[in-house]
Structure 1
Amino acid sequence: MYSIADLQTFVAAAKCAGITAAARQLGISSATASHRVTKLEGVLNVTLFHRNSRTFKLTDEGQMFLERVDVILDELQQAELEVGSGSAKLRGHLRMTLSPWILSRFLLPVLGPFRTEHPDLSIEFLAVDRFVPLVEEAQDCAIRVGQLADSALVAQKLCDNHRIICASPRLLDVVGVPETVDDLQDSPWVCLPWQTQFPVNDAKGRKRNVSVARSLAVSNSDMLTVGAVEGLGLAVKSRMAVREELEAGSLVEVLPGSLHGPEAPIWFVSPKESRAGRKTRAILQIARQAFRR
């Protein structure tokens, strides 16, 4: 029969993508961690990981087992707390994906007291602007910007937000202020790699797509802001992402109201299986605090 320690080791190995990293997180030897996972596979009579010298990845059965076991372990810890046999501190590992600007401008500034309160909880942020499928990439939760389409997730709105076109006043002094959406095509742009055109409203309020010539492409949203501030081109940004720059005057909005469908609310999302997870609930409260500031 397997033990709770075996299950904890399996979850750690899955989230750390390796036996050695899991052992380090749990404070045990790699041999012990490997033995626990092998024993668990033997009892279940199933292969939980594809592993060789180059690959360590959950099998389909392993992924299914992880989704159930992770929640069960979290609930077990909560039950221990409720009967008074444990401490209120969180333990283990939490993986979260979000845009770089949300991490740098909102979450990290409020994370200090939470880390002090829960020193045994390690947090891994995947800060990227691409869409990250939570289950496939073993993420516990995410903060996403824009309209949601994945009904398999539990979503809670953190705040409203809109996208705008913005530019540095220095750039506009040189190239001129765009007065119509047609002028946007002749302006220099700083873009993320996949941004080649934007939906706008024409003079009659009808939707059309404007293709732009990217004078500079950058890999993440924080660098997009820097490029715009430095006068390297116009950029489409979430208003909340450049709030400080707008207030300081280092960026100004261009053609207000010209973007079609600018609404881009900010959501906290998690897989349905992790609805009751204590770690997920705790980081949700931190996210709410961050966006109330």
Structure 2
Amino acid sequence: MYSVPDLQTFVTVAKCGGITSAAAEQGLSAATVSHRIVKLESALNVTLFHRNSRNFRLTDEGQVFLERVEAILEDLQQAEIEVGSRTPHLRGHLRVTLSPWILSRFVLPQLAVFRKQHPDLTLEFLAVDRFVSLVEEGQDCAIRVGKLSDSALIARKLSDNDRIVCASPGFLADHGEPTSIEELRDKPWVCLPWQTQHDVKDIRGRKRRMSVSRSIFVSNSDMLTSGALEGLGLAVKSRLAVKEELESGRLVEVMPGCLDAPDAPISFVYAAEGRAGRKIKSFYEFTKEAFRLGAGDFCARTNE
């Protein structure tokens, strides 16, 4: 039979990618670490690692086991803390994926407060604009923009939001303000790589697919905002992402209502069977408050 230390060693080997580095991390001999892994595989009757001369790589079974064991060990550690000292502090590690603009504009400005409350909880942010599978990429939770597809994930709405076309006043002075879909299409644009086509509505309300060709492409949403501010072109942005720029006049909404189905609510998402428990719940509460402070009237009322 295996023990809690065996499970802790398994997690360390998985994270370090090898016996020697895991042994150094835990202050054990390489022989002890190797013995624990062999004992664990024997008890489970499964191969947890692909082994070669350089490193250990998790098998598919090992990856599933790691996800379960990490959560169990963190829950156990948290239970020991709460029973022993009644402290509300969280411990362990939380992985969050979100768009760069949400991280820079809503999460980071308020994060110091959360860190003071939970100094022993480490946070890892995967800030990308692409869709990230929580399971496949090992993320505990996500903050997503846009309407969600039906899935086994649990979603909590953080705020209302919509997408708009915007530009700097200087750009409009130089290139003219478009008044039709044709003029909109033919202006210079700054885009994310997948934003070359947009569903729009003409003056009669008919849905059309507009292709953008005269573009500057950037790799993330924060750079998209910077490009628009610099007068490089029109941009499609979440209204919440450029709320401050719109209020200050540094960006202007162009042809309001021209985008078809512009609603893009902000949601907090996590797996229904996740075992991260209090960590996810606490980070959700923090995120909800961060949006309340940063989004103002946009922020939606959510059910507890």
| Deviation by residue 1:10-48 (Cα, 9 ceiling, x = unmatched) | 44555x474589959976569476665454333322222
What is the identity, as a one-letter code, of the residue corresponding to 2:249?
Answer: G
What is the identity, as a one-letter code, of the residue corresponding to 1:182?
Answer: E
User: Structure 1 CA distance, aligned partners of 2:162 and 2:130?
Assistant: 19
Taking structure 1 as the reference length, the TM-score comes to 0.88
Partner in structure 1 of residue 118 of structure 2: 118
What is the identity, as a one-letter code, of the residue corresponding to 1:6?
Answer: D
Partner in structure 2 of residue 66 of structure 1: 66
The 10-residue stretch of structure 1 (43-52 or 261-270) with the greater mean CA deviation from structure 2: 43-52
Q: Which has the larger radius of gyration?
A: 2
Q: Which runs of 5+ in 1 are unaligned?
A: none
Structure 1 residue 102: Cα displacement: 0.4
What is the identity, as a one-letter code, of the residue corresponding to 2:92?
Answer: G
Change (3 A) 1:281 1:19: farther
Structure 1 residue 3: Cα displacement: 2.4
User: Structure 1 CA distance, aligned partners of 2:208 and 2:16?
Assistant: 44
Change (3 A) 1:26 1:131: farther
Structure 1 residue 55: Cα displacement: 7.2
Number of positions where the alignment pairs a residue of Structure 1 with one of Structure 2: 292
1:193 aligned onto 2:193:
yes
Change (3 A) 1:194 1:21: farther
Partner in structure 1 of residue 260 of structure 2: 260
Structure 1 residue 66: Cα displacement: 3.2
| Deviation by residue 1:152-206 (Cα, 9 ceiling, x = unmatched) | 2111111111000000110000110010112111100000011111011122212
The 10-residue stretch of structure 1 (67-76 or 205-214) with the greater mean CA deviation from structure 2: 67-76
User: Structure 1 CA distance, aligned partners of 2:20 and 2:285?
Assistant: 28
User: Structure 2 CA distance, aligned partners of 1:280 and 1:154?
Assistant: 12
Name the SS for the 1:173 alignment partner.
helix
RMSD in angstroms over aligned alpha carbons? 2.8
1:170 aligned onto 2:161:
no
Partner in structure 1 of residue 143 of structure 2: 143
Contact 1:190 1:234 in 2 (8 A): yes
1:278 aligned onto 2:301:
no
Change (3 A) 1:13 1:162: farther
Q: How does 1:1-293 map to 2 (within 5 A)?
A: 1-11=1-11, 14=14, 16=15, 18=17, 28=27, 31=30, 36-50=36-50, 52=52, 57-80=57-80, 83-84=83-84, 87-274=87-274, 277-293=277-293
User: Structure 1 CA distance, aligned partners of 2:264 and 2:211?
Assistant: 21
Name the SS for the 2:281 alignment partner.
helix
Change (3 A) 1:153 1:20: farther
The 10-residue stretch of structure 1 (115-124 or 226-235) with the greater mean CA deviation from structure 2: 115-124
User: Structure 1 CA distance, aligned partners of 2:207 and 2:20?
Assistant: 50
What is the identity, as a one-letter code, of the residue corresponding to 2:289?
Answer: Q
Change (3 A) 1:54 1:248: farther
User: Structure 2 CA distance, aligned partners of 1:266 and 1:137?
Assistant: 21
Structure 1 residue 218: Cα displacement: 0.4
Quick one: percent identity of the two aligned structures? 65
Contact 2:13 2:56 in 1 (8 A): no
User: Structure 2 CA distance, aligned partners of 1:125 and 1:46?
Assistant: 32
Q: Which runs of 5+ in 2 are unaligned?
A: 294-304
Change (3 A) 1:27 1:45: same
User: Structure 1 CA distance, aligned partners of 2:135 and 2:195?
Assistant: 26
Name the SS for the 1:90 alignment partner.
coil
What is the identity, as a one-letter code, of the residue corresponding to 1:271?
Answer: A
User: Structure 1 CA distance, aligned partners of 2:49 and 2:120?
Assistant: 26
Change (3 A) 1:136 1:58: farther
| Deviation by residue 1:229-277 (Cα, 9 ceiling, x = unmatched) | 0000100000000001111111000000110000001111111121661
Contact 2:74 2:91 in 1 (8 A): no
Contact 1:19 1:34 in 2 (8 A): no
Structure 1 residue 291: Cα displacement: 0.5
Structure 1 residue 121: Cα displacement: 1.6
| Deviation by residue 1:99-132 (Cα, 9 ceiling, x = unmatched) | 0000011001111122123222211111001111
Contact 2:141 2:280 in 1 (8 A): yes
User: Structure 1 CA distance, aligned partners of 2:29 and 2:167?
Assistant: 52
